[in-house]
A = this chain, B = another copy of it.
């Protein structure tokens, strides 16, 4: 019996639209074949979200074919058949003997496929940013007639502008994020272990919201006093205390898409320092959102934030945010004063205003938003407050 197609997150026409955009870029760069091996790009172009990318795999897009081909290890082929939108015959499993094999590996199988399909002459696009040096070397050696073109980030730039269908999915993810944050406000209490609060929040992110479950785990960070100045610790083996500050950053996930949110909680009255930072940051956040419109640049948004925050007597060192979509962080546009990316409708960002000020004090707040025809739409429905416990 064959593996059946699973329910698809998007209609076929949506995936074909995405592929058309990639093919147009391939034509512009004069390449006939493109090897996509960045997991988020594969998700974008196929619907596949299984966690097989730790061994060689590639989605191969050819200008001569409407549908792409996925070459993966044999045991992952049924999952690809189940999740990917295209015809099952286009999922090709390579032998398991190539895993952890010092001589030949999955890239050899990928190159064999390209040879068989006549795709090794002329321009071949590779995402060299996601390839190990020895894989690139193997491509060059075994495909001497190919002209390699670095396609790193090119699909990510296409991903930056979402379709309305993608925006709907990001709204679903955001509803889950909000549910997780409200659960945090319920369970964080003095004497509670950080891990027990994390367990409750993460389980809420998986259960989901509005009848739609979370479909994956993503970024999850809980940095409580005395760790409020650290941005990237999961949680500690500690308990919350009276007077503790808790910085949270996480997202629900729908079909690979995230919608991140940061909020600061305070057990007891916030300190004067915390209140002052919060006031400046919220004013900066509002100024940043007010600067969002088609035609403005990422720099304009960052500048509006930074100027406003400065008026309140603070500065933020880290960038103000980044493009967001599949797998949290898209490696393209940043909300930074030197990023001149022009905003267009349905670009989505995480306006990430975490500010790790001193070695023992940091504060976080953020909003995920899309650029609309005239401004910004934030996805979260939660107030921009310090949640007091």
Select one of B82, B196, B204, B338 contacting A213, CB under 8 A. B196
Whether B51 contacts A232 by the Cβ 8 Å rule is: yes
Mark A197-228 against chain B: 1 for CB-CB distance below 8 A, else 0: 01110111011100011111101110000110
Whether B234 contacts A217 by the Cβ 8 Å rule is: yes
- Of A23-31, A258-266, A279-287, A354-362, the one contacting chain B is A354-362
Min CB distance, A384 to chain B, in Å?
22
CB contacts under 8 Å to B, within A84-108, are: 95-96, 99-101
Q: Which residues of B contact A196 (CB under 8 A)?
A: 206-207, 213
Whether B213 contacts A237 by the Cβ 8 Å rule is: yes
Whether A356 contacts B75 by the Cβ 8 Å rule is: yes
Interface range on chain A (Cβ under 8 Å from partner): 35 or more
Copies of this protein chain in the complex? 2
Select one of B129, B359, B360 contacting A132, CB under 8 A. B129
Q: Which residues of B contact A336 (CB under 8 A)?
A: 100
Select one of B100, B193, B199 contacting A339, CB under 8 A. B100
Whether A195 contacts B208 by the Cβ 8 Å rule is: yes
Q: Which residues of B contact A356 (CB under 8 A)?
A: 75, 78
Min CB distance, A263 to chain B, in Å?
18
CA distance A203 to B194 in the complex (A): 12
Given contact pairs A128-B133, A133-B136, A203-B203, A78 touches B1 in the complex (Cβ within 8 A): no
A383 at the interface (CB under 8 A from B): no
Whether A220 contacts B217 by the Cβ 8 Å rule is: yes
CA distance A100 to B220 in the complex (A): 22
Whether A1 contacts B193 by the Cβ 8 Å rule is: no
Q: Which residues of B contact A134 (CB under 8 A)?
A: 129
Mark A57-83 against chain B: 1 for CB-CB distance below 8 A, else 0: 000000000000000001111110111
CA distance A217 to B203 in the complex (A): 12
Whether B100 contacts A322 by the Cβ 8 Å rule is: yes
CB contacts under 8 Å to B, within A349-367, are: 354, 356, 358-360, 362
Whether B234 contacts A359 by the Cβ 8 Å rule is: no
Whether A76 contacts B206 by the Cβ 8 Å rule is: no
Min CB distance, A62 to chain B, in Å?
25
Name which residue of chain B comes closest to A131, CB basis.
B133
Given contact pairs A78-B229, A229-B78, A359-B78, A195 touches B207 in the complex (Cβ within 8 A): yes
6 contacts between A and B (CB under 8 A): A3-B226, A76-B230, A131-B133, A195-B207, A215-B235, A217-B217
Closest 8 CB pairs of A and B: A195-B213, A79-B230, A199-B206, A199-B203, A203-B203, A96-B317, A50-B232, A100-B334
